[in-house]
Amino acid sequence: MKCPFCSYEESKVVDSRATEDYTAIRRRRECLKCSKRYTTYEKIEDIPIQVIKKDLTRENFDKNKIINGLIKACQKRPVSITQIELLAADVEKVLSNQMNQEVKSDFIGELVMERLKKIDEVSYVRFASVYRQFTDVNTFMEEIRNLMNNNKSNL
């Protein structure tokens, strides 16, 4: 790390503390040559995740797309925006922890549905109907039957 005043490459850390949101570490440094102090920040490098869509095109992962889809699915349901944001953050965390630079959109959709089913079944069916592109009433009814059978087996 070069001193911003004299460009000397050696310094000592005088103080370290986390930022308010705990996403970085703020360090006060003192140059060993000119003795001037300056601040640096250390944070985890984000690895961009590419989403492979159904048509095989790729785009950057965007947590807001998940949130927007969930807001539509949860309209007029007892699901708070906080629950939606936590669900989206959890999906993002799972994807980041896998350390894959590419992930299929199907996998993301399944992660979302798995979590949404535990929060609100009606919202889950709404989300699934768009995500799985139900083409007729029979497909829709089959999903509801599967949901009902899973509920019976969990009792």
Contact 18, 35 (CB under 8 A): no
Q: Give residue 155's pLDDT.
A: 56
Token digits of residue 70? 């969930």
To which residue do tokens 């399944």 refer?
Answer: 110
Task: Tell whether pTM > 0.85.
Answer: no
DSSP state for residue 47 in the 8-state scheme: P
Q: Give residue 55's pLDDT.
A: 94
Output phi, psi for 6, to 5 deg: -125, 0
Q: Give residue 50's pLDDT.
A: 96
Q: Give residue 144's pLDDT.
A: 83
Q: Give residue 92's pLDDT.
A: 92
Q: Give residue 135's pLDDT.
A: 73
Q: Give residue 133's pLDDT.
A: 77
Within 10 Å of residue 7's Cβ, how many Cβ atoms?
Answer: 10
Residues in the chain, pLDDT under 70:
153-155
